[in-house]
Amino acid sequence: MKHPFIFEINTWVWLDELRARLGKKIGLGDVPAPEWDAIAALGFDAVWLMGVWERSPAGIAVALQNDALTQSFRDALPDVTSADVVGSPYCIRDYTVAQHLGGPKGLESARKALARRGLGLILDFVPNHTRPTTSGQRRTPSTPSRAVTRTWSASRRRSCASATMCSPTDATRSSPPRPTSCR
């Protein structure tokens, strides 16, 4: 497919909207079939589930300590609380699907639901969008981004992330490989 038509979903926000509308906890593995059907009916080739990775508590703390940022939250949502601040989808603690969103099993279920409808799945991987608490950085503090990038590049052909579209029948991993060394 030369130019796929991609539907981006801010996963955290979308699932919270579904939770509010349906009145029950919803993870990626619990999305009702009619929701996937509605997306498929729009005519897209793939769905980009943006922001599925585990977010950094350090990033949330930084956001809550920034007066200008917290003021901008209050300007947008006067009744905002610290519990409403879930962090940036690009301030990653670990490239593991967040449990709040259904974890790796939930993502696998979503991938299968999309595949049944002929849709691919896109996940993002941005090596420099991490915090000091990122697992790969804890293991390789001297050159964290280079280590993550090098490990990812070696395994990229087997993965389903970083602007690489998975075909509906692709049996790839549900998350990028974790960095293990800085070789």
Which domains are seen in the chain, by residue range? 6-55+95-158 (3.30.750)
- Please give the pLDDT value at position 11: 97
Any residues with CB less than 8 A from the CB of 16 and at least 6 apart, and which?
none
Burial 87-125 (b: 16+ CB within 10 A, else e): bbbbbbbbbbbbebbbbbebbbbbbebbbeeebbbbbbb
Residues belonging to the chain: 183
Q: Would the CA dihedral through 49, 53, 58, 60 be positive or negative? A: positive
Taking all residues of the chain, what is their mean pLDDT, rounded to a whole number? 77
- Region 75-103: mean pLDDT is 91
pTM above 0.85, yes or no: no
- Spatial separation of the C-alpha atoms in residues 70 and 142, rounded to whole Å: 32
- Please give the pLDDT value at position 136: 52
Query: Which comes out higher in pLDDT, residue 140 or 56?
Result: 56
Residue 36 phi/psi, 5° resolution?
A: -65, -40
The helix or strand, by DSSP H or E, that contains position 121, with its residue range, turns out to be strand 120-122
DSSP summary character for residue 138 = H
Using the predicted structure, report yes or no on whether residue 42 has a pLDDT greater than 70: yes
Query: Which amino acid would we find at residue 38?
Result: A
Using the predicted structure, report yes or no on whether residue 143 has a pLDDT greater than 70: no
Report how far Cα 62 is from the mean position of its chain's Cα atoms. Answer: 20
| pLDDT tens, residue by residue, 69-81 | 999 999 999 999 9
Across 13-22, 55-64, 86-95, 150-159, least confident range: 150-159
DSSP summary character for residue 3 = S
3-class DSSP state of 150: helix
